[in-house]
Amino acid sequence: MDLTPGQNVSFSGSTLSVRLQGPAGSPPDLVGLLLDHRGQVSTDADFVFYNAPRHASGALTLDGLLLTVRLDEVPPAVERVVVAADRDGDLDGVAVAVEGELPFTFQPPGLHGLPTAVLLEVYRRNGGWRLRAVGQGWASGLAGLARDYGVNVDAEDAPQPAASAGPPPDRGALEPELQQLAERRDALREEVARLDRQVVDARAALVETDELRLLQQAGYYQFRHPLDDVLASKQRLDALRGQIKTAISKRTAVRSTSGWMVNGSLKEGAALVRQFGDLMLRTYNIEADNCVRTVRAHSVDAAKKRLEQTRQAIVANGSTMGAAIDEDFHALRLEELQLTADHHLRVEQEREDAREERQRQREEARDQEEFKRRKKDLLKEQVHYRSLLERSRINGDEEGQAEARQRLAEISESIEEVEEMAANIRVGYVYVISNVGAFGDRVVKIGLTRREDPMQRIYELSSASVPFRFDVHALVFSHDAVSLETALHREFDARRVNQVNRRREFFRVSLPEVRAALERVGTNHVVEFHELAEAPEWRQSQAQQPRDSRPGVDLTR
C-alpha cells in the first residue's frame, strides 16, 4: 500500500523493518529517535544513528539502509518512535518501504533542497501501535533535527580512534581470559537480579509520602465511586461513617477470643482483653482519622497502604491475646478513604464547572451587547443613507441614488446577519489556533466564538497569561458552529492534552491532520487553512538566545 503524507495505518505485529530507497549517488542515512510524552528524547542514548546503531533496550537496530523496530522492546516511557533520513545534498526522490504484517511504501514529496526529513512516526494508541507517514523536511540538517528533539549535539568534531598497529592477537591465546570474563559477567548478572528482587521487596513495604512523586504516579485519576454529584457523594460518605460509629458502639470493630484468665478469673481476663482491644482500636482509629483528614485523589493508594500496615502491626501486637481489628471494620475505613478522596476531587470539579459556566455566561452577555451595539450602528447608518437617497431623488442625482440603494441593501443584509447571530446561539465561528512558543509545534486549540468579529476572541486569548500571541490557522463561519466544533472535538478526543477537564480545548495533533478533519466534517463550509505557524515573536526570541555550548552527541563519521 502506498501512503500519503499525514495518512495513519494500524497494525498488530511486534516488529517493523524500515528500508530506505534512494536515487543514484551517495545513499542516505537512516536515523531513529525514541521520544517521551513531551516529544523529546529522555537521554542522548535514545538517538540511534550511524555512530550509535543500536539502542540499549534492543528496540531499535540500524544496519545500513535497514532500521529494525521491535515494538515489544520499546521502553514504557517512550510514546513515539521517529524514523528520519539524512543525506549529503538533498532527499529528493527518497522513498521508504516498511516490511511487516502488512507492507507499506511512502515517497514524501517536496524534499528538494532539504538534506534531512522525518519520514515516519510509530506511536502508541489505545494499548496498540499506529504508523503515520510524515514527510517533514529539516533545512538545518541532521544536527538541527537532533537538537529539536532534545539531543545534545557536539559542535566540534569528535577525535577519531587511532588505527591499531600490528596483527590482531590470536583468539586461542585469549580463550582463558575470555572464559574468566564470561564467568564474571554471569556472576554480575546474578548479583544484579538479586539486588533487583531486594529493591522490589523494599518498595512493596515502603509507604510513599512524597507529594510530587505521588502526583506524578497518579496519572489519569477517575472516580472509583461514580456518584452523580457532590450531594450524593456527601450522603454516601455520611452513611458510611454512620456504619463505622455503629461498629464502634456495638464493640464489633475488634474481634477477640474468650477464655483468657487473670488471677484464675475468666471475668478479669475478659475485662483485660476488652481494655486491650479498646486500646488497639483507639490506636488504629487515630491513624485512620489522620489518613482521612490528609487524603487526596493522588495519595489515596498510599494512604490505604499506610493504614493496612498499621492494622498488621496492631494485629501482630495483639496476637498473644487473640485480639485483632475486624476485617469488615477495616474494609469500612478503607472505603471511607476512597470516598473522601473522590469527594474532594468532585468538589473541585464542580467548582471548575461553575467557573466555566460563569465564564460562558459572561461571554454570551458580552456577545449580546456587541450585537446590540452593532445593530444600533447599522440602523443609524441606514437612516443616513435613506436620507441621502431621498435628497438624491429630489436633486435628480441618478448616480447618488444607485450608490445609496446599493449601500442600503448591504446594510439590510448586515442587520439580518446580526439578528440571526443574536437569536441563534448555534451560529458562530469555529477557530483553529496554535501557540508554538507556549505549547509546542503539535498542539492546537479548537474553539468556538459567537462574536461578529472572531479575531476579538483570539486577541483576548493571546493576552490571557501566555508569553506569545496565537497563530490563526482557520476561521470557519457556520450556522451550526456548535455541531462543527463538537465533530472536530470528537475526531481528536483521544488526543486531548487535558483528559480530565474536557472544556480545555487543546489537542496534540498536527496542522495537516486538523485540515484533513475539517475537510471531512465541514463539507458545507468554505475553509481557508494556513498550515504554517508563523510565531514571529517566538522565532525572534529563539534567534536572540545564545547557543548552548555544552558537549553532546557527535554526528561526525
Residue 271's CB is within 10 A of a number of other CB atoms, namely 13
- CA–CA gap between residue 99 and residue 373 (Å, rounded): 63
pLDDT in tens, the chain (557 residues): 788 888 888 877 788 899 888 766 678 889 999 999 888 999 999 999 988 999 999 999 999 889 999 988 999 999 999 999 998 878 888 888 888 766 888 888 888 888 899 999 999 888 888 888 888 888 888 988 999 899 988 654 433 434 444 555 555 667 777 777 888 888 888 888 888 777 777 666 555 445 444 444 433 344 444 444 567 777 888 888 889 888 888 888 888 776 666 666 777 777 877 888 888 888 888 988 888 888 887 788 888 888 988 888 888 877 767 788 888 999 999 988 888 888 887 777 777 777 777 777 777 777 778 878 888 888 898 899 888 888 888 888 888 888 888 989 988 888 887 777 666 566 788 999 999 999 988 899 999 888 878 888 888 888 877 899 999 999 988 878 888 888 899 999 999 998 877 778 999 999 989 998 988 886 666 567 888 888 888 888 887 776 554 456 777 66
- CA–CA gap between residue 253 and residue 245 (Å, rounded): 9
Residue whose grid cell is 555544552:
550
Contact 8, 512 (CB under 8 A): no
Cα 411 to the center of its chain, rounded Å = 47
State pTM to two decimals: 0.37
Instruction: Please name the residue ranges forming H helices in 3-99.
Output: none
Kindly give the pairing relationship between strand 254-255 and strand 104-106.
unpaired
Q: Pseudo-torsion of CA 54, 440, 218, 345, nearest 10°?
A: -170
Residue whose grid cell is 505521588:
214
Contact 130, 8 (CB under 8 A): yes
Contact 17, 100 (CB under 8 A): yes
Q: Is 60 helix (H, G, I), strand (E, B) or coil?
A: strand
Which parts of 271-352 are beta strand (E)? 324-325
